[in-house]
Structure 1
Amino acid sequence: MSHRSTTHPALLPDEPTRRLLDDIAAAPDAPLRLGVMAPGGYGKSVILREIRRLYDDAGSSVRVVDDAHLLDEPRLREVLEADDPRLVVAYRPWPRHRVLAESLRGRPLLMPGAFGKEQVKEFLPAAASPALVDFVHQQSGGVPRFVERLAGVTGAEVPAEAVDAFRPELDWLDADLQKFLLAAEAGAGLRLDLLGSLLGKDSDGVAEIIEAARATGMVAQDGTLVPIARRAVALLSRAERRIAVRQRLAGLQLDAGGPVLDLVRPLIGTGVGGPGVAAAFQAAAAEALGADPALAARLFAASASAGTPGVEVAARWATASAMAGDLDGALRLADQVITGPESAHRGAAAEVAAVALAHRGQLARSTELYQWSATPSAAAFAVVGSIGTGRLSCELDLPAAPPTSLDGAAALMAQGIRESVAGEPMTALSTLVRASGLLEPVGRAALLPDSPAALAALVALHCGESGVAESVLDRAARAQVGGTLFTVRHVVLRAWIAMVRGNLAQAKDCLLALKKAGKRLEPRDWLFAVALEIGVARRNSDLATMKRTWEQACEAVLRHPVDLFTFLPLGEFAAAAARLRDEHRLAPHLAEARNLLRELGNPPLWAVPLHWSGLHAAIIAEQTGVAEEHAAALAEHRGLNRYNAIISGAAESWLDVLAGKVDADQVEDAARGLHAAGQWWDGARLAGQAAIRTADRQAMVRLLDCARLLQGRPVAVKKTGVEPAVVPESTDADKLSDREREVADLVVAGLTYKQVGDRLFISAKTVEHHMARIRQRLGCTSRGELLARLREILA
């Protein structure tokens, strides 16, 4: 009959133990000499109690000796040589006793092991989830005593009482063993080279201490602490002893040239000092810089507090702060170095300040600092900044440098921006895309004034290659190029692509996600984000949002001086200013943009989009003469490339439409050209406005269908020829036509007739006619009754 414990829940015997207990129950008078060997916490004492119970129940005697490893040799010999017919001895595998080994040689030996998940489950409530079973098994390492301590856990958190139960065990250990456990808690459990120096022992001595640690049950065979034991060692050991062990290990590891981050991370904020600790903090900060710049900044701060000279650490601390997005701290630290005594770190500090100022919109000042620094990447970034602020360098005079990814990417960025004003747009785009690809392996470890992906996206948007812009931004986001500093920039540019394509909901969702994340936007990112909000509102005919956001837009422009890379938001603000009849507040900034273009020789890549937005602003403001000037400027660049030809043709179509001359073929070609160039919303709007202004019924239907198609909306089903199919209206008063549903949905949402018309490319008068027919069909006598009925139908 299989034996089952009835005395203690911790006795969940494995197969060898179960067979032995069954044998004892079947023949309690048979002689027995048995050893039970296992580390502490594996249930040896429970097995002894179970054996004693079996013999007591059978009326037989047995001598049991627990913790035999603690007995001295004379006492142990006395126990083992006594004339007992039945003797059971329990002991740990360390310390080893020659007498114990000789006496039990050839005798039965039980070696209870760790619990599996099924045994762990026996200790938990019947309703315990598999996740809870896994948690207890992982934390306890399957050690029965530790499983029992976690039996009352209800969630994925170790209770304080389970940790506190380790206190007597830890206090009982000798000093060397405690020191080893602290080393194992620090991750050096099997680093024999470090342990030998830490413990002051040779390899044999270290091996003995490791064996002793394993015998406690708290250390696994690989030298790591069981998770709950590691937590206990960290929380219950004396703080000064734990700090001293980690400090010593860090010094040893630093001398050996190994990683120290995991060793010194817990020392942050403890107040430890001295040259050795300061050096360890610096080395750990260098390790953390690429993956976690915020942690690196804390480590540099700790190094400074530990005694590293201020200038020596401040420049690297500034770099880490900038990469973590703390530009205030980065500028403060960089200025300390720049204005301090002459040192080898001033150039690096100048580059950090240049990066911070570029993100703050101070591109001219950033360029000055890059020119002052002597590194190859700084010289390349200075070229980018010079061109961005209207100073066209004659030559790309970059110093020779080793082929690092950063220097190579910086050189390509400078070359690409130079080509964008003095060469072919597609060549510039190709160069910048290659620069972005070169930085992808470096990822978040690069400290940049602007990312090559962002510059490539801007150039792509300026020459009608929105697909390329989308691709390069997505790749940069996946590689985390530029780290935290560029998260927002890449998101807002991705949202800009969605906006010009007419995916207004997607663009708006990006803005909402940034707001919910609570990210602080630096002036450059804020400028684009506000322009996005204004642009989405304008395209949605949301005048209330435009008015509400306009003051922010004016402030954003004031905070960020005009440079070549801000023409997109500036153009969007120009259209909004015209819509709000507030052009005078933006006029100085637009004049500055035109002056910048003139200083660069009016490069078509950058001039064409600015004239295109100026054309729309003039159309909105009903300034026909100004619109014609912008159209003429666009025509000058018409023959340079396909994109310029598309934009110029679209400008001419707009002027014709405004003059009442609607050529359906010309308008449709222009609208489809804009769509092909990535400006889906502009293409749909041109076709829609032309449809409103033509008196030709067939042309109107054709252009409306074109507008809906370019906008991604369904078009009317056609018969042969150009006539739209006749769709019979439902006789059911609760049914509306598709068009009437579109109109009703927007009216119920609160849009005015004019806003509905702008959205659907029809006139406000047509919207009014639709609503009148709906009201008549539904038999409503008031507007309130009509809106209530429409809400029911649409629901």
Structure 2
Amino acid sequence: MPASDIASPGRIDSLMDSTSDDPLLDEPTRELCRAVAHGKLTPARLAVVAPGGHGKTAMLRHLARRCEARGVAVAWYGQQDVATAELILVDDAHELDDSVLAELHERAGDEVTGLVIAARPWPRSPALNALLSRLRGQVVLRPLDIPRIAALLGRDRAGLAELVRAQTLGVPGFVVRLANALRVHSGDPVPADATDLPAPVLAEFRPELDRLPPETLSLLLAATSGARLDVDLLAAVLDTDHDGVARTVDAARAGGLLTSDGVPLPLVANAVRVLVPEERRLAISQRLIRLQLARKGPVLGLVRPLLDTELGGTALAEAFEAAATEAAERDPALAARLYAAAARAGHPPTELVCRWAETAARAGDLDAALRLADRVIAAPRAEGRTDAANTAATAFVHKGQLERASELYRWSNTRLSRVNSALIALRNGKLTEAESLLDSADRDAPPTLVTTAMTALVRGTLESVTSGPAPALSTLADAAEALDPVGHSLFLPDTPAAVGALVGMQCGELSLATTLLDRAVEADSGGRTSRARHRLLSAWIAMLRGDTDTATHTLKSVGRELSPRDWLFAVGLRAGLARRTSDLAALRELWGDVREAVIRLRVELFTILPFGELAIVAARLGERERLAHQLERARTLLRALGDPPLWSAALYWSSLHAAITADERDEAAEHARALARCADHSTDHTGYHRVLAEAAACWIDTLGGTVDAARVDVAARALHATGLCWDAARLAGQAAIRTTDRAAMVALLECARSLQGSSTAGAAPPESRLGVLSERERQVAELVVSGLTYRQVGDRLFISAKTVEHHMARMRQRLGATSRADLLAQLRELVTPSSSAGRSPGRRPRAR
């Protein structure tokens, strides 16, 4: 049987009522038929060229009915006498011999009788080409849309229209054939949201598949096995040359079995997979794999369909391993499955377990990664023991077990492992050890992108402890940029963006923190294992800003399949959101998770934020003793680091609010004094720590019954400017309800209302806001407003474009700009008056 018999035109017409408007034809085609019938195209000279099953015969019959209804004499060439015909219809012209085509060629010159010829695109003899070239236009037959498919299916089956469209791509012949099969099996349930067809429906196509030419069926088997249109592979499978492959592909495409890019229609592919005996399918698939392995070509597409089989053998094991290598960078979960399949197929496990462990870790399966890596580490002669130790160590970091991770990094003793070990030492409060490890890591091994970025990450963290936020953020931003080209395919203990965000949140640089996280999400830095961390930190920033809706939505988008480290932040977020929305029932419900967090995980430098939030919740629920030892450990760790203001202030701020919540005023006053010391010793040029210290002092006064409304207003607005919007509104609100001065109460309540949930506290006049910008920031603002790019500004001021971006992020936060356009408008208002005086119109400002 010809390939197109799966979509026989005769079957198409069997579904049509001859008196109805044919749903197989779209409106442009029906309009064309009406024009021919009404004599608007006289004489008609049309070609209908399309693969089998696209509705050529249906279109000709529809045209014939239209014309006959108007009294036009119509004749089918080869079936009726055409001597007296006014319109001659020719179907399947590709099957006619040259003598018949020559006769039709002569008739095409007749200016009285109409001629409409239908043919497939292949085979195309020279005689057929010559005939078609004499025609004046070609009819385009379009796929059926959902409404027309629903009309064919009938009311009872109209809900399956989308399924039929997906399976047939709207090719009319296949739509009709499938509609027939669904009618025959109308008693078999097919859910409207199904993505595949039941076996009894596909079984209706068995006779057609059985009648396909052997080479066509082999081509379909190869195509469904992933070969696509690789001519060399297909030539070997079909036992032919390139010309033979071309003929077979053209025949299958002309029969409507393949799309234009050589992919079988979904219906055809499903029928082949279900109806062709498995042994024949596997024989073709394995032959393709052997051929591709021999030429060292990609095998992932060929191997993927065999993942769930129990096949084995050396060649297949080799193919699974090669496919895993192909998939590892972009799809580590698939790569891990392929490595497992290679092991099942007979590949010696010790040769691939190390890579298998890494892909499992990158896919988020930390337990599997640890189990696999341990097998390599425990085998004295195994290759890749160092790499396996690094993988296991990083997995332990994600599980929050830093001591075990440090032990494995030290045993590994590579440059990168020493860098990672230095980061762990720093997180555990061991400053001298961290500096020593970092120095030793700089003495050997080439400076690759990864080692450079991770070294910069550790240096940035070190600077956050010893030098303050400005140099730390600059170093961490550079590290994030260095990691962008390769970060998506790495399994990292942490990312520069995440650490930069933690630093930014604890020094009031929320806009910069957001920028780092947004870039990391876009670049997929750290791959799958870091995506949740970046989103959770973004949610934390939204929570600090008082945007609980965004924080809640982002938290939900992360899901519940989290590593222990990320789970801790998720618990902290849930607690913080419940506290900010005064949802006491939610706080009590999640207290079980809080207790588990306290037991499972230990506080360290990077978990001060969540443990600080949990401390406030514990105070709210009368469970402060649960976190006492963790908070004491945090204080000990920070003392060992020299009480760095950036990290210590965050803990003191949380402890202040925990004490306030527990009504421990003496303790609250102690934490306020600690915040004042942080402000005194801080190198933070933005004044963030001074803002915290002043807000803390206002809290202490308020608790003691002394409310200076003006001072509280200034302190609250300063808090709001740093990004702590919810804290700002709460300070003003609590002061309002504690003051005995009614005027002060009204003023503070208005202040609280203006700060809560908004990103700005009201636009101050330009002259009062100009002092918000530093001298360097004013220089940057003048040049950006004048129209220079970040790179051009950097060239003028001898700084990097990245540094210009950081200045812009800081200015956006300080000015409360809601968008880049808003920022530019405010900067233009700020700098134009002072920078334009004495300057000729149109002249750009000169960098100072």
Higher RCO, 1 or 2 (CA under 8 Å, sep at least 6)? 2
**SS of alignment partner, residue 80 of structure 2:** helix
1:732 match: none
1:596 match: 637
The question of whether the paired residues in 1 share the 8 Å contact of 2:622 and 2:662 is answered with yes
Identity %: 47
Deviation at 1:267, TM superposition (A): 0.8
Deviation at 1:700, TM superposition (A): 2.6
Q: 2:227 aligns with which of 178, 188, 191?
A: 188
Inter-partner Cα distance in structure 1 for 2:761 and 2:410? 61
> Could you say if the C-alpha distance between residues 709 and 216 of structure 1 is closer, same or farther in structure 2, counting changes exceeding 3 Å?
closer
The question of whether the paired residues in 2 share the 8 Å contact of 1:691 and 1:703 is answered with yes
Pick the structure with greater CA Rg.
Answer: 1
2:752 match: 707
Letter in 1 for 2:540: W
Matched ranges for 1:311-390 at <5 A: 311-390=350-429
2:322 match: 283
The question of whether the paired residues in 2 share the 8 Å contact of 1:268 and 1:299 is answered with yes
Letter in 2 for 1:574: A
Letter in 2 for 1:419: E
| TM-superposition CA deviations, 1:591-633 (whole Å, max 9, x none) | 1111111222222211111122222223333333333332332
2:669 match: 628
> Could you say if the C-alpha distance between residues 232 and 682 of structure 1 is closer, same or farther in structure 2, counting changes exceeding 3 Å?
same
Inter-partner Cα distance in structure 1 for 2:761 and 2:251? 84
> Could you say if the C-alpha distance between residues 238 and 688 of structure 1 is closer, same or farther in structure 2, counting changes exceeding 3 Å?
same
The question of whether the paired residues in 1 share the 8 Å contact of 2:49 and 2:139 is answered with no
| TM-superposition CA deviations, 1:665-708 (whole Å, max 9, x none) | 32222222222222222222222232333333333322222222
Letter in 2 for 1:438: A
> Could you say if the C-alpha distance between residues 649 and 253 of structure 1 is closer, same or farther in structure 2, counting changes exceeding 3 Å?
same
Q: Give the RMSD, CA atoms, in angstroms.
A: 4.8
Inter-partner Cα distance in structure 2 for 1:296 and 1:68? 51
Bigger drift between 151-160 and 673-682 goes to 151-160
Unaligned runs of 5+ in 1: 23-34, 81-88, 718-795
> Could you say if the C-alpha distance between residues 608 and 205 of structure 1 is closer, same or farther in structure 2, counting changes exceeding 3 Å?
same
1:456 match: 500
Q: 2:268 aligns with which of 229, 240, 252?
A: 229
Inter-partner Cα distance in structure 2 for 1:342 and 1:331? 19
Letter in 2 for 1:457: A
The question of whether the paired residues in 2 share the 8 Å contact of 1:688 and 1:707 is answered with yes
Deviation at 1:652, TM superposition (A): 2.2
2:476 match: 432
| TM-superposition CA deviations, 1:175-208 (whole Å, max 9, x none) | 4443222222334343222223333433344344
Q: 1:672 aligns with which of 717, 741, 763?
A: 717
> Could you say if the C-alpha distance between residues 240 and 614 of structure 1 is closer, same or farther in structure 2, counting changes exceeding 3 Å?
same
1:659 match: 704
Inter-partner Cα distance in structure 2 for 1:527 and 1:494? 15
| TM-superposition CA deviations, 1:451-476 (whole Å, max 9, x none) | 32221111111112122222322332
> Could you say if the C-alpha distance between residues 136 and 443 of structure 1 is closer, same or farther in structure 2, counting changes exceeding 3 Å?
farther
Unaligned runs of 5+ in 2: 1-15, 38-46, 65-74, 103-116, 183-191, 763-848
| TM-superposition CA deviations, 1:75-131 (whole Å, max 9, x none) | x99xx9xxxxxxxx999998999xxx9999989999999842479987761799999
Inter-partner Cα distance in structure 2 for 1:93 and 1:276? 40
Matched ranges for 1:126-525 at <5 A: 140=168, 145-151=173-179, 159-160=197-198, 163-214=202-253, 216-220=255-259, 222-392=261-431, 393-395=434-436, 396-397=438-439, 398-399=441-442, 400-402=444-446, 404-442=448-486, 444-512=488-556, 517=559, 519-525=560-566
Q: 2:80 aligns with which of 55, 76, 80?
A: 55
Deviation at 1:279, TM superposition (A): 2.1
> Could you say if the C-alpha distance between residues 553 and 232 of structure 1 is closer, same or farther in structure 2, counting changes exceeding 3 Å?
same
Letter in 2 for 1:256: R
Letter in 2 for 1:290: E
2:729 match: 684
Deviation at 1:144, TM superposition (A): 5.4
Inter-partner Cα distance in structure 2 for 1:686 and 1:105? 88
Query: TM-score, structure 2 length as denominator?
Result: 0.70
Inter-partner Cα distance in structure 1 for 2:421 and 2:374? 19
Letter in 1 for 2:176: E
Inter-partner Cα distance in structure 2 for 1:374 and 1:444? 24
The question of whether the paired residues in 2 share the 8 Å contact of 1:37 and 1:109 is answered with no
Deviation at 1:556, TM superposition (A): 0.6
Deviation at 1:558, TM superposition (A): 1.2
Inter-partner Cα distance in structure 2 for 1:119 and 1:704? 60
Letter in 2 for 1:146: F
Letter in 1 for 2:667: V
**SS of alignment partner, residue 201 of structure 1:** coil
Deviation at 1:220, TM superposition (A): 4.9
> Could you say if the C-alpha distance between residues 702 and 312 of structure 1 is closer, same or farther in structure 2, counting changes exceeding 3 Å?
same
2:695 match: 650
The question of whether the paired residues in 2 share the 8 Å contact of 1:275 and 1:306 is answered with yes
Letter in 2 for 1:684: A
The question of whether the paired residues in 2 share the 8 Å contact of 1:530 and 1:553 is answered with yes
The question of whether the paired residues in 1 share the 8 Å contact of 2:720 and 2:761 is answered with no
Matched, 1:116 2:115: no
The question of whether the paired residues in 1 share the 8 Å contact of 2:676 and 2:693 is answered with yes
The question of whether the paired residues in 2 share the 8 Å contact of 1:568 and 1:609 is answered with yes
Query: TM-score, structure 1 length as denominator?
Result: 0.74
Inter-partner Cα distance in structure 2 for 1:67 and 1:279? 48
The question of whether the paired residues in 2 share the 8 Å contact of 1:278 and 1:306 is answered with yes
Q: 2:586 aligns with which of 529, 545, 548?
A: 545
| TM-superposition CA deviations, 1:525-550 (whole Å, max 9, x none) | 22222222332333344444333333
1:610 match: 651
> Could you say if the C-alpha distance between residues 121 and 651 of structure 1 is closer, same or farther in structure 2, counting changes exceeding 3 Å?
closer
1:759 match: none
Matched, 1:567 2:608: yes
> Could you say if the C-alpha distance between residues 224 and 696 of structure 1 is closer, same or farther in structure 2, counting changes exceeding 3 Å?
closer
Inter-partner Cα distance in structure 1 for 2:580 and 2:646? 24
Letter in 1 for 2:142: G
Letter in 1 for 2:526: G
The question of whether the paired residues in 2 share the 8 Å contact of 1:115 and 1:143 is answered with no
Inter-partner Cα distance in structure 2 for 1:124 and 1:368? 65
Inter-partner Cα distance in structure 1 for 2:603 and 2:696? 25
Inter-partner Cα distance in structure 1 for 2:138 and 2:131? 18
| TM-superposition CA deviations, 1:543-598 (whole Å, max 9, x none) | 44333333321221111111111111222222233333332222111111111112
Q: 1:534 aligns with which of 567, 575, 581?
A: 575
User: How many residues are paired up?
Assistant: 688
Letter in 2 for 1:380: V
2:107 match: none
Inter-partner Cα distance in structure 1 for 2:329 and 2:543? 33
**SS of alignment partner, residue 619 of structure 2:** helix
> Could you say if the C-alpha distance between residues 6 and 52 of structure 1 is closer, same or farther in structure 2, counting changes exceeding 3 Å?
farther
1:83 match: none
The question of whether the paired residues in 1 share the 8 Å contact of 2:725 and 2:758 is answered with no
Matched, 1:125 2:151: yes
> Could you say if the C-alpha distance between residues 59 and 287 of structure 1 is closer, same or farther in structure 2, counting changes exceeding 3 Å?
same
Inter-partner Cα distance in structure 2 for 1:143 and 1:513? 39
Matched ranges for 1:2-41 at <5 A: none
Inter-partner Cα distance in structure 2 for 1:666 and 1:42? 80
Letter in 2 for 1:649: E
